[in-house]
Amino acid sequence: MTSLWRAIYFIRTATDGLRSSPVTTAVAVGTIATTLVVMGVFGLALKQMSGIVDRVGQDLTVSAYLEPSVDDAAARALATRVATVEGVASVEVVTREEALRRFQGVAGDRTGLLDGLVENPLPASLEISLASGERHEEGIERLVEAIRGLPGIAEIEHGQEWVGTYERVLAGLRAVSMGLGAVFALAALLIVSNTIRLAIYARRDEVEILALVGASRGFIGTPFLLEGALQGAAGSLLALGVLYLGFRVVVAVSGSALAFLIGHAEPVFFDAPEAIAFVLAGAALGCVGSLSALGSAWRPA
């Protein structure tokens, strides 16, 4: 039998098996879809939250406010020194005059607050940008420890607590999604396994005849593996469709509020590689369930 005819036989046998037990097949597909919908909801939430961390991380700076006695030349020398610290991408000197201009730009019509002051009360500072691999709680902490106590630095301001809290929320959400995903995946595996086991029992005579005429275990088992993969792929495609429809509804109903919650950015769905990986995950889930069924129910003579 040529490779082409072998593939045709496997596909035809697998599809015939699925059509012969529509109820159990529908239950297996529905269970896999439910599993992947739950995991997909958490995945989309993590995607939006991770996007916030990435966007904030790009703008994340540590501000080191300088003592009043530090002049512009000393500030530039201090910036050069800080730039050599591991994990620092760049250092910008913000003079007192530049700080005042920034404040006026932000305050707008409220700049009259400074009219009664004799001199500029804002200090000069260093705005320190972190390298991409250091934009997290530990990276900020290392930088702060490295520059704290340097001559000329009066105070350091950073977002370490906020970043740390957000990273812990992300870690907790990942843990919950993995736990729920494991529970639902186990349920899906059991149902797929039982579905394939029933298919094996229903075609027991055919399996025994194939074994008697010399068909290998792999040849006999491949259609059943393909059945599981097709069930898993169908479940993942169904889940992907449900997730997309739900995503569009949520965006349409609460788009502006959702954009505000995720940092004034457009909510994003899974991209093409992520969607393909999602479908492949469902197919793999079905294959594993089929392997379990073959291992426990198939005993060719």
Q: Which domains does the chain have, with CATH numbers?
A: 3-55+164-297 (no CATH), 61-158 (3.30.70.3040)
Instruction: Single out the residue of 296, 105, 267 nearest to residue 197, CA to CA.
Output: 296
Task: Please state the separation of Cα 126 from the chain's center in Å.
Answer: 34
How confident is the model over 11-42, as pLDDT tens digits?
A: 887 787 777 778 878 888 888 888 888 888 88
pLDDT value for 275: 93
Predicted structure pTM score: 0.62
Which of 277, 289, 279 lies closest to 184, judged by CA? 289
Q: Which token pair is 101?
A: 């201009």
* Residue 63, strand partner residues: 127, 157
What is the pLDDT averaged over residues 234-253?
90
Better pLDDT: 73 or 181 = 73
Round to whole Å and give the CA distance between 188 and 34: 9
- In tens, the pLDDT along 246-274 reads 998 888 877 655 555 555 567 789 999 99
∠ Cα 96 101 105 (to 5°): 145
Mean pLDDT of 90-111: 76
Angstrom distances, CA of residue 270 to CA of 39, 54, 153, 163, 281: 13, 17, 45, 24, 14
* C-alpha–C-alpha distance, residues 120 and 75, integer Å: 17
Question: Is the pLDDT score of 286 beyond 80?
Answer: yes
- What's the token pair of residue 65? 């406010």
Residue 244 has pLDDT above 90, yes or no: yes
Which is it for strands 88-94 and 125-130: parallel, antiparallel or unpaired? antiparallel
Q: What is the mean pLDDT of residues 92-110?
A: 76
Going by pLDDT thresholds of 50, 70 and 90, the confidence category of residue 242 is very high
Express as a percent the part of the chain with pLDDT over 90.
Answer: 8
First CA to last CA across the chain, in angstroms?
23
Strand partners, 127: 63, 92
Round the average pLDDT of the chain to a whole number and report it.
Answer: 78
Q: Residue 300: pLDDT band by 50, 70, 90 thresholds?
A: very low
pLDDT tens digits, 132-177: 777 777 788 888 888 888 888 888 887 656 666 666 777 777 787 7
pLDDT of residue 245: 94
Q: Which residues pair with 126 in a beta bridge?
A: 64, 93
Q: Tell me the residue ranges of DSSP E strands in 135-212.
A: 153-157
- Parallel, antiparallel, or unpaired for β 125-130 and 61-66? antiparallel
Alpha helices in 21-109 (DSSP H): 22-59, 72-83, 96-107
Burial 61-98 (b: 16+ CB within 10 A, else e): bbebbbeeebeeeebeebbeebeeeebbeebebbbbee
Q: How far is CA 125 from CA 11, 59, 67, 99, 100, in A?
A: 69, 17, 9, 8, 12
